[in-house]
Amino acid sequence: MAERVALITGGAKGIGRGIALDLAAQQWSVAICYRTSEKEARATADAITERGGRALSIRCDVSDPQAAKGLVTEVEQQWGRIDALINGAGPYHRMNLFEETVEGWNEMFDGNLHPIFYLAKAVAPGMKARKSGRIISFSMANADQMISQPDVTAHYIAKAGVLILTRTLAKLLAPHGITVNAISPGFIDSGSAPPEELAGMTKRIPAGYIGTVDDTVAAVRYLLSNEARYVNGANIQVSGGWGI
């Protein structure tokens, strides 16, 4: 099989790490981008190598448009191509709207939405030239409902924006053999939330249990597969029925 290269933002831990290790087991070359999790990034890079993949671990703040462009350039210079861009980075905090700061408000958009635009623009030329490519971004399970969210307002608006951006990119890039899709997780035990908090949410999930990183990884694996070549502009809910 021809060499395949993936760039994963937020790839040092949690869902991003799970995706990286799954791709490594399929002999992908995987570049993971991290902002602060240097120790975890090193461990993930080592694990990628152990599973048969090639690894790059790059510190980058993808909320900076020039840094995001430079990240893509670095990976392409190192390995010659990027076949899959997986936008996994995205900060989150809970704050009542009227207690939110301007800095906190901007952080949600700078971290969750804007990098997808920056990185898509950067990877598109190479993907167009090869007439193939996959872009996957993460929203959240009820972002398509456009409901009120007093305590996560900016984050929620950014994640709704991810869906609009995903569909727009899909329409623009489909003629070039590129697919662009979104995955919307619900409550996933990825290590980012305390177990007791997740346990308290179980009764709100129709399936009756919390999802795992593997549940999300499986959706990514499908969207990267040949079986999903005609799936474009989709939003896959990974939520056990929560948020629909």
Indicate which residue of 92, 118, 156, 222 is catalytic: 156
CA–CA distance, 32 with 164 (Å, rounded to integer):
25
Q: Contact 205/102 with Cβ under 8 angstroms?
A: no
156 is catalytic: yes
Q: How far is CA 85 from the centre of its chain?
A: 8
User: For residue 7, which of 172, 118, 114 has the smallest C-alpha distance?
Assistant: 118
3-state SS assignment for residue 99: helix
Q: How far is CA 226 from the centre of its chain?
A: 20
User: For residue 122, which of 92, 89, 87 has the smallest C-alpha distance?
Assistant: 87
Kindly list the catalytic residues. Answer: 156
